[in-house]
Amino acid sequence: MSRHLKTYLEASQQIEPIETVLVVNSENQLRSELGDLSELCASIRVHGLLQPILVRPRNSKFEIICGHRRFEACRKLMKRHVECIVREMNDIDAYELSIIENVQRHTLSPIEEAQAYRKYVVDFGWGGIVDLAKKIGKSQEYVSHRMALLHLPADILEKVSNNAISLSQAQEMVWIDKPESRSLIAQLAENEKLSASEIRRARRQLEDPSNKAGSRTSVGATFLDFTPPRFSPDRKAIEDAILSLRIALVRVDSIITRLESKAAKSTLMRERYELHGIIDRLISSKTNFTQNN
């Protein structure tokens, strides 16, 4: 341990102005991107660092436990010292505290959160889902559902990270068994803005066309339970038809992107517009089928 570091450790446990060059990021940093720091920099420039950074001694440096964005903002401002609270802490406690702070501040994306949980439970083996859920103040279902997102393929996870697909849409896609169905529904979710209940129905149509809309499937049954829409059977049939046509529309789009023939593309594009028109007319006609019909 360096003499400089020992001096800091022997000081009181209050806020310490530590030289910026002695502070390093954690190897287990939870956030892949720190985002735009301009507003934070402006605030620190005017008001100073309102909340100190929590660090722990690590070799001859101080490793950040909580406050990576604050530290990076201070570094951008060329601050020679940064206010820190120094704590002796083992790897498990440091990681748990980092998760708790980020979850409470809502600074992690759903995918970053899921990756943090998986590292704790699977990669590091520090505890089970139940243990982790208790420590961070979340339910077991919350943690397990977040971790389940990581079963989705990389292209869908990227869409979630880019907000092209919502978290609720992605959670429904976890239970889709067939890769081709999952890919198709991901396109529908992004382009046609399907709701969570529509994704459930689309999955049933694609994976088991004979399955009744209200039946349960073996995969994630309790998670997929839902109350059927309070519409008349006729309106429900119209909505199923609209969903089927949307699925067909995405399939046609996929074929068009693979074509090299301009004539074939022109023909399919013309029919695609007609298909879109049918969908629009069916959507308009739904108002004619009320609950009392």
pLDDT in tens, the chain (293 residues): 445 444 544 444 568 888 999 999 988 888 878 888 899 999 999 998 888 999 988 888 899 999 999 999 999 999 999 999 988 889 999 999 999 988 888 888 899 999 999 999 999 999 899 999 999 889 999 999 999 999 998 888 888 888 888 888 888 888 887 888 888 888 888 887 778 888 888 877 776 655 544 433 333 333 333 333 444 667 777 777 777 777 777 777 778 878 888 888 888 888 887 887 887 788 777 767 655 44
CA distances from 113 to 30, 138, 176, 192, 267 (A): 8, 12, 22, 27, 46
Buried b (16+ CB within 10 A) or exposed e, 111-142: bbbbbbbbbbbeeeebeebeebbebbebeeeb
Predicted confidence at residue 289, as pLDDT, reads 66
Q: In the structure encoding, which two tokens stand for residue 21, read together?
A: 């060059």
Q: In sequence order, which residues have a C-beta less than 8 Å from that of residue 116 and are 6 or more positions away?
A: 30, 99, 102, 108
Predicted confidence at residue 133, as pLDDT, reads 93
Predicted confidence at residue 88, as pLDDT, reads 86
pTM (predicted TM-score): 0.66
Residue 170 C-alpha from the chain's centroid: 8
Fold of 3-95: 3.90.1530
φ, ψ for residue 48 (rounded to 5)?
A: 80, 180
CB-based contact 175:225 (threshold 8 Å): no
Predicted confidence at residue 71, as pLDDT, reads 93
Q: What residue segments make up the domains of the chain, in order of their start?
A: 3-95, 109-151, 153-213, 233-288
